[in-house]
Amino acid sequence: MARVAVVTGGTRGIGRAVCEQLRSDGFTVVANYAGNADAARAFSDDTGIPAYRFDVGDHQAATEACARIGEEVGPIDVVVNNAGITRDGTLLKMSYEDWNDVMRVNLGGCFTMAKACFPGMKERGWGRIVNIGSINGQAGQYGQVNYAAAKSGIHGFTKALAQEGARFNVTVNAIAPGYIDTDMVAAVPEPVLEKIVAKIPVGRLGHANEIARGVSFLCSEDAGFVTGSTMSINGGQHMY
Ligand code: NDP
């Protein structure tokens, strides 16, 4: 029977590319989304992949949804923690709510999904968790203390949980994307984006499927010896 993979924030952008990649790798894929029902419907109509609506930052809602996916689709073998938001602003302008929302969704969502799915993976002796971090969690970014802290936290979370999963064939890894041409980056003002692209050695934004290929490897049998790692996929930007 095909293994079941859940991709949070799977209906748009990087998550959508990950869903399509994992399906073509032979997984039974389930996507999650927060509230954009039109995008979710278009995604499911196009791909035939079911989309479950829940807030990954809401511990109870996410726990209940994972239990429902377990019953309706099958035990969850792979979790890709991809759902993420930005609430940018310099520290002086950032509200506590902006801080908290980003921590709750971007970092809290990883905890909640792992809490719901890791025990079953451990019990069955196989699992893959891939957390989507960011180059801005590695290097920091002006106007993003909340986002950079949450993404940096993901990298620590990954290394800690990897140590708990290793003996049970449950690998836990992260991918740190650079700038990828999704809706999230479309929100960056054009002049700012031009400056960012100028700093990317390959001279362009990345594409969602370039992140999906990395996720695909980390979820494969071949990656059984890779755990606690962060794969940087950023056109060489991490060198600067
Ligand atoms: P998009 O904004 O294009 O898509 C975000 C997805 O996450 C949507 O499906 C959205 O659902 C979902 N989502 C948002 N909040 C929640 C929530 N609380 N619960 C469940 N789902 C949620 O994002 P990207 O594809 O650009 O980014 C994907 C991940 O990659 C994020 O973690 C981001 O931080 C990270 N990343 C992106 C980079 C980039 O350049 N694009 C660079 C580095 C990292 P809905 O449609 O309902 O809103």
Mean pLDDT across 149-157: 97
Residue 134 in domain: yes
Sheet with strand 76-81: strands edge to edge:
51-53, 28-33, 4-7, 76-81, 127-132, 170-177, 230-233
pLDDT digits (tens, 9 = 90+) for 172-182: 999 999 999 99
Residue 104 in domain: yes
Contact 109, 126 (CB under 8 A): no
105 lines ligand 1 (CB under 6 A): yes
Q: Which domain holds residue 108?
A: 4-233
Which atom of ligand 1 is nearest to 133's Cα?
44
The residue annotated as part of the active site, out of 33, 52, 147, 179, is 147
Average pLDDT of the chain to the nearest whole number: 97
How many domains does the chain divide into? 1
The residue whose CB lies within 8 Å of the most ligand 1 atoms, and thus the one to mutate among 18, 79, 85, is 85
Q: For the domain that residue 41 is a member of, what is the CATH number?
A: 3.40.50.720
211 lines ligand 1 (CB under 6 A): no
pLDDT for 13: 97
Residue 60 in domain: yes
pLDDT for 134: 97
Chain-centroid distance of CA 70 in Å reads: 20
The residue whose CB lies within 8 Å of the most ligand 1 atoms, and thus the one to mutate among 182, 199, 204, 211, is 182
Residue 186 in domain: yes
137 lines ligand 1 (CB under 6 A): no
Residue 11 in domain: yes
Which atom of ligand 1 is nearest to 83's Cα?
7
Residue 239 in domain: no
36 lines ligand 1 (CB under 6 A): yes
Amino acid at 99: W
Q: How far is the CA of 34 from the centre of ligand 1 (A)?
A: 9
Q: How far is the CA of 182 from the centre of ligand 1 (A)?
A: 9
pLDDT for 240: 80
Look up tokens 């989304």; give the residue.
33
What does pTM read for this prediction? Answer: 0.98
Q: How far is the CA of 83 from the centre of ligand 1 (A)?
A: 4
Residue 240 in domain: no
83 lines ligand 1 (CB under 6 A): yes
Residue 238 in domain: no
Q: Quick check: 1 pLDDT over 90?
A: no
pLDDT digits (tens, 9 = 90+) for 105-138: 999 999 999 999 999 999 999 999 999 999 999 9
Q: Quick check: 238 pLDDT over 90?
A: no
Q: What does the buried/exposed string (b/e) look like for 131-161 if buried means 16 or more CB atoms within 10 Å of the residue's CB?
A: bbbbbbbbeebebbbbbbbbbbbbbebbbeb
Helix, strand, coil abundance in the chain, percent, nearest 5:
50, 15, 30
Q: Quick check: 239 pLDDT over 90?
A: no
pLDDT for 188: 87
Question: Does residue 147 have an active-site annotation?
Answer: yes
Strands 51-53, 28-33: pairing is parallel
